[in-house]
Amino acid sequence: MATVTIDISEYDMLRNGKEQAEAEVKALKEDIKGLKDKSRVIITTITQSFEKGCYEMWEQPRLKTVSESTQFTGFDDIEFEIREKLTKKVQKELDEQLASLEIARKAYEEKCDDLEPEFEKEKTDLIEKFEKEKAELKKDCGELELSIEEILKKREKIQANLDKIPGWIQRLFGVKLDSQGLQG
């Protein structure tokens, strides 16, 4: 019979190493899975098309069109955060503007309330002044009507005297006048 001596320490070390490697691989697989879920990719696609000339052998192709498109993948969480921050910022600005507008509205109402008695006093003063000037104008108009009547009466007298002038000239000078003046 033969006796074999085996050192198990090396075997145990290999077995422990294998278990550690399997645990490490398992942890790395979980990390990779997590990274795939959180990965962010930006894909930029550039498409070019060329046009060949009629002399294909010695003429170089000319660039016809170039189009570029960009696609973002995995940025949903960042997009949500940005939208949320922007929404909060805009809401805050709107709230501040509303608050300042409310303060301005209250100040305006207070100023209107302060000016109301002053406005009413000014209004009554203007109405009184208007009524006074109206009474004076009525008085002046009455005097004007009287003076217009007097002017019309004096005009009639002057016209009557003017109508008498041709007869006087004829009697004094012996000249006959027609409607246009002296007649020879």
Residue 94: pLDDT band by 50, 70, 90 thresholds? very high
> What is the per-residue pLDDT across 127-146, written as a single tens digit (0 to 9) for each?
898 888 888 877 776 666 66
Q: Are 51 and 64 in contact (CB under 8 A)?
A: yes
Structure tokens at 92: 């805050």
> What is the per-residue pLDDT across 95-132, written as a single tens digit (0 to 9) for each?
999 999 999 999 988 888 888 888 888 888 888 988 88
What does the alpha-carbon distance between residue 40 and residue 149 come to, in Å, rounded to a whole number?
104
Q: Are 65 and 29 in contact (CB under 8 A)?
A: no
Question: What pLDDT score was predicted for residue 41?
Answer: 65
Cβ neighbours of residue 101 closer than 8 Å, sequence gap 6 or more: none
Q: Is the pTM here over 0.85, yes or no?
A: no
Hey, where are the domains in the chain?
77-173
